[in-house]
């Protein structure tokens, strides 16, 4: 009876340890899929200014610093539920590195936007533990879905701005004026 009870305790302990360790397993970095990009028919300097304006305005509203040479670094976007660690989900925040790269074949008129993410995490924001409120770099965690979402929003804004500027260059003639079909 004692051996059976001892074996049951060891088995329960083994299962508990394996569950806890599985919750702490680090994610494998996916560097190859970390960069999201899209091409545009715009000179790099103009595209950089437009992207900086778009990222700083609602609905995105992230402060952006010009890092020079066609690169922006955004402020932190918070409120993400992170990985499961030791009986709870951690908090995450992400900021984005946005790079405008001139097109090799036509650098004066074509550019590419590249977006990569950088994530930090913390266990919790409650309790007296200062460490629980401190953000820690998480270089092994990549969230390409967040980069893709940001790039998609930038693309939408650029497309809308292009549609507005092209319609203002070619106004629709008023009825009864020359040029009406």
Q: What is the pLDDT of residues 5-22, one digit of tens each?
A: 655 555 555 545 454 444
In a domain, 173, yes or no: no
d(C-alpha 146, C-alpha 140), whole Å: 15
Q: Which run of H or E residues covers position 75?
A: none
d(C-alpha 75, C-alpha 38), whole Å: 21
Lowest average pLDDT, out of 40-49, 91-100, 166-175, goes to 166-175
Alpha helices in the chain (DSSP H): 2-23, 44-56, 144-169
Number of H helices, E strands in the chain: 3, 7
In a domain, 114, yes or no: yes
Q: What is the pLDDT of residues 146-160, one digit of tens each?
A: 999 999 999 999 988
> What's residue 23's pLDDT?
46
Residue 83 in contact with residue 27, Cβ under 8 Å? yes
> What's residue 66's pLDDT?
75
Domain that holds residue 71: 29-167
Q: 129 vs 94, which has greater pLDDT?
A: 94
Average pLDDT over residues 103-116: 93
Given a cut of 80, whether residue 175 has pLDDT beyond it is no
Q: What is the pLDDT of residues 50-91, one digit of tens each?
A: 999 999 999 999 998 877 889 999 999 988 877 777 777 788
As for how many domains the chain has, the answer is 1
Report the candidate in 21, 30, 140 with the shortest Cα–Cα distance to residue 82: 140
Average pLDDT over residues 102-113: 92
> What's residue 48's pLDDT?
94
> Is the full-model pTM beyond 0.75?
no
In a domain, 17, yes or no: no
Given a cut of 70, whether residue 108 has pLDDT beyond it is yes
In a domain, 61, yes or no: yes
> What's residue 39's pLDDT?
92
CA atoms within 13 A on the CB side of 48: 17
Q: Report the percent of the chain where pLDDT is more than 70.
A: 67
CATH of the domain at 57: 3.30.530.50
> What's residue 40's pLDDT?
93
Average pLDDT over residues 124-144: 80
């Amino acid at each position: 009876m004692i051996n059976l009870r001892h074996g049951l305790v060891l088995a329960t302990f083994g299962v508990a340890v394996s569950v806890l360790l599985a919750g702490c397993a680090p994610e494998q970095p996916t560097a190859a899929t970390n960069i999201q990009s899209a091409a545009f028919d715009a000179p790099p300097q103009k595209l950089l200014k437009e992207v900086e304006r778009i990222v700083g305005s609602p609905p995105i509203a992230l402060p952006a610093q010009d890092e020079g040479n066609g690169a922006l670094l955004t402020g932190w976007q918070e409120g993400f539920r992170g990985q499961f660690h030791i009986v709870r989900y951690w908090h995450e925040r992400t900021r984005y590195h946005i790079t405008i790269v001139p097109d090799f074949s036509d650098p004066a008129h074509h550019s590419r936007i590249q977006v990569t993410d950088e994530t930090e995490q913390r266990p919790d924001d409650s309790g007296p533990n200062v460490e629980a409120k401190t953000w820690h770099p998480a270089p092994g965690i990549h969230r390409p879905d967040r980069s893709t979402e940001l790039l998609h929003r930038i693309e939408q804004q650029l497309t809308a701005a292009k549609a507005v500027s092209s319609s203002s260059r070619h106004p629709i003639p008023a009825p009864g004026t020359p040029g009406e079909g």
